[in-house]
């Protein structure tokens, strides 16, 4: 009966694959944690998304402002995002803001109003 | 160049349809595409045509599923999505209470009724849970007492669909407005599409007042000042609060919202009317650029809506 002797090359390959699987698992876990952290910070980065209920009762005319607002701060650029805290439940997927209108002095082509 | 814009308007869907193109030579093709779309939407979604799919569907409430065409299927799905995204503030199952309240015929003929002797009645709004859509079999089943009205979304959907169709047909930038529900497609003219903001969509674009320009998406205005009718001693309007089944009590005369589509804009503007005082915070939380006008004329802006020009 011939003794089974594993091929050293196969053993090297198996060890490499095992390392690759571990690295993949760690990467997925790490990415999940970081994504959760980023999402949580993003949810708090823009105060407009956390408007207190009281504000609803006191609508007001907004002060003058520029017609184009700077892009929201990218949370991934902050150092705080690296804190390896447990990931909070992911907030709802952020929705890209609608294109904002701008003032114009051109003669209007149509009117929007109640129907 | 603004000077190259060309436009035309005509009556449709009980209101005014307008199409504007950035290449004057393409106006006829764009208009034909718009007319085709509107004819399809009217046949699928009208509450006031005996031969419409929606009338047939409403008549079958409480019975088995009804096979519908792709346009009504899409319109109902859009309406259900609006209900879901607004927590039921914009709900297509307001049809029954709207009919009982007096909006039971084309609006142009409502004014012919003797409003002083008319008595409005109301019904609870069953909610969109009573609408069952099966995309695979292209059928819709309505629970008993469910009566759909797609007025809050179908016109805006028609604007979006028409703008896309006209853009394909014309091969240039296109703006479509259906009673003030505006959708644009294709390359915008330099400076964007200039649009006047007013209480009434029928106001001439040439009249003085605030104007804004958009380059993509849509713009819609909901209001309580225009589509009104007499019911005895009171005057009613057409935007129903699904929570009460009655015309919404709101401090806002008009709410105009910009959106990534006309549907998105119109859903937000209608929800804002229903929400009343909570509307600015609700719009801000969604990052919506909006202009709200109180009954007193006071203007409230949210999101990135620009200040009115002095």
Q: Give this complex's ipTM.
A: 0.85
Tell me the chain A residues in contact with residue B20 when contact means C-beta distances shorter than 8 Å: 109-110
> Where does residue B243 fall: left (phi above 0), alpha (psi -120 to 50 degrees), or beta otherwise?
alpha
| pLDDT tens figures, B103-146 | 988 888 888 898 889 999 999 999 999 999 999 999 999 999 99
**Does A101 contact B203 at a Cβ distance shorter than 8 Å?**
no
- The pLDDT mean for chain A works out to 56
Our CA angle for B110, B111, B117, nearest 5°, is 85
| pLDDT tens figures, B14-68 | 899 999 999 999 999 999 999 999 999 999 999 999 999 999 999 999 998 999 9
**Collapsed DSSP state (helix, strand, coil) of residue B257:** strand
DSSP for A54-93?
HHHHS--PPPP--SSPPPPP-GGGSGGGG--PPPPPPPSP
Is the model more confident about B103 or about A50? B103
Give the lowest-confidence range in A36-50, A96-110, B196-210, B290-304.
A36-50
Rounded to 10°, the helix B154-170/B262-275 angle is 160
Q: In angstroms, rounded to a whole number, what is the distance separating the alpha carbons of residues B262 and A83?
A: 41
Q: In angstroms, rounded to a whole number, what is the distance separating the alpha carbons of residues B91 and B53?
A: 19
CA B302 to chain centre: 20
Strand order in the sheet with B211-214: A102-103, B211-214, B193-200, A110-114
> Which residue does chain A place closest to B285, by CA atoms?
A49
**Does A113 contact B203 at a Cβ distance shorter than 8 Å?**
yes
Rounded to 5 degrees, what are φ and ψ at B199? -70, -40
What is the end-to-end Cα distance of chain A in Å, rounded? 92
Provide the shortest C-alpha distance from residue B248 to chain A (in Å). Answer: 15
Average pLDDT over residues B247-269: 97
pTM: 0.77
Average pLDDT over residues B206-226: 92
**Residues of A near B (CB-CB distance < 8 A)?**
48-53, 55-57, 59-62, 64-65, 67-69, 95-115
Which of A63, A95, A114 best probes binding to B when mutated, by most B CB atoms within 10 angstroms?
A114
Tell me the chain A residues in contact with residue B259 when contact means C-beta distances shorter than 8 Å: 98
Q: Report whether pLDDT(B221) > 70.
A: yes
- Across the A/B interface, how many CB contacts are shorter than 8 Å? 196
Q: Report whether pLDDT(B310) > 90.
A: no
Dihedral in degrees, nearest 10, Cα atoms B145, B146, B147, B148:
170
Q: What share of chain B is helix, strand, coil (3-state, %, to 5)?
A: 35, 25, 40
CB-based burial of residue B143 (10 Å sphere; 0-12 exposed, 13-18 middle, 19+ buried)? Answer: middle
Confirm if B131 and B76 have CB atoms less than 8 A apart: yes
Task: Give pLDDT, residue A74.
Answer: 31
Q: In angstroms, rounded to a whole number, what is the distance separating the alpha carbons of residues B76 and B54?
A: 10
Task: Give pLDDT, residue B268.
Answer: 97
Query: Who's near B242: CB < 8 A, 6+ residues apart?
Result: B88, B89, B90, B91, B93, B94, B125, B127, B274
pLDDT band at residue B206 under the 50/70/90 scheme: confident
**Does A115 contact B201 at a Cβ distance shorter than 8 Å?**
yes
Dihedral in degrees, nearest 10, Cα atoms B155, B157, B161, B166:
40
**Does B221 contact A113 at a Cβ distance shorter than 8 Å?**
yes
Confirm if B31 and B8 have CB atoms less than 8 A apart: yes
Average pLDDT over residues A27-34: 64
**Does B214 contact A55 at a Cβ distance shorter than 8 Å?**
no
Provide the shortest C-alpha distance from residue B139 to chain A (in Å). Answer: 30
In this complex, the residue of B204, B219, B285 whose CB is nearest that of residue A48 is: B285
**Does B304 contact A115 at a Cβ distance shorter than 8 Å?**
no
Tokens of B290: 């909006």
């Amino acid at each position: 009966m011939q003794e089974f002797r594993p091929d050293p090359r196969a053993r090297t390959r198996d060890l490499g694959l095992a390392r690759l699987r571990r690295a993949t698992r760690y990467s997925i876990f790490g990415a999940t944690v970081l994504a959760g952290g980023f999402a949580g910070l993003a949810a708090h980065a823009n105060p407009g998304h956390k408007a207190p209920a009281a504000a609803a009762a006191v609508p007001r005319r907004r002060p003058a402002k520029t017609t184009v607002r700077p892009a929201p701060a990218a949370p991934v650029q902050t150092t705080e995002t690296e804190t390896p805290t447990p990931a909070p439940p992911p907030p709802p997927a952020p929705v890209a803001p609608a294109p904002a209108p701008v003032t114009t002095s051109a003669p209007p082509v149509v009117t929007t109003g109640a129907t | 160049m603004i000077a190259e814009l060309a436009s035309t308007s005509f009556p449709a869907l009980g209101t005014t349809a307008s199409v504007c193109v950035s290449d004057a030579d393409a106006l006829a093709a764009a208009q034909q595409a718009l007319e085709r779309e509107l004819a399809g939407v009217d046949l699928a979604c009208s509450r006031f045509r005996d031969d419409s799919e929606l009338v047939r569907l409403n008549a079958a409430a409480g019975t088995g599923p009804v096979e519908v065409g792709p346009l009504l299927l899409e319109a109902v799905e859009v309406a259900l999505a609006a209900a879901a995204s607004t927590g039921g503030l914009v709900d297509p199952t307001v049809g029954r209470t709207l009919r009982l309240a007096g909006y039971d015929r084309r609006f142009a003929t409502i004014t012919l009724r003797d409003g002083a002797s008319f008595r409005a009645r109301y019904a609870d709004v069953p909610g969109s849970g009573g609408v069952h859509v099966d995309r695979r079999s292209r059928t819709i089943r309505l629970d008993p007492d469910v009566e759909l009205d797609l007025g809050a979304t179908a016109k805006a959907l028609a604007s979006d669909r028409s703008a896309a169709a006209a853009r394909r047909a014309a091969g240039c930038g296109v703006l479509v407005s259906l009673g003030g529900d505006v959708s644009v497609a294709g390359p915008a003219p330099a400076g964007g599409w200039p649009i006047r903001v007013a209480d009434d969509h029928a106001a001439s674009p040439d009249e003085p007042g605030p104007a804004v320009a958009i380059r993509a998406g849509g713009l819609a205005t909901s209001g309580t000042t225009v589509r009104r009718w007499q019911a005895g001693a009171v005057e009613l309007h057409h935007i129903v609060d699904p929570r009460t089944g009655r015309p919404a009590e709101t401090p806002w005369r008009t709410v105009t919202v910009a959106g990534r589509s006309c549907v998105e804009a119109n859903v937000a503007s209608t929800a804002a009317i229903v929400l009343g005082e909570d509307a600015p915070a609700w719009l801000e939380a969604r990052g919506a650029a909006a202009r709200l006008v109180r009954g007193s004329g006071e203007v409230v802006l949210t999101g990135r809506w620009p200040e009115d020009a002095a």
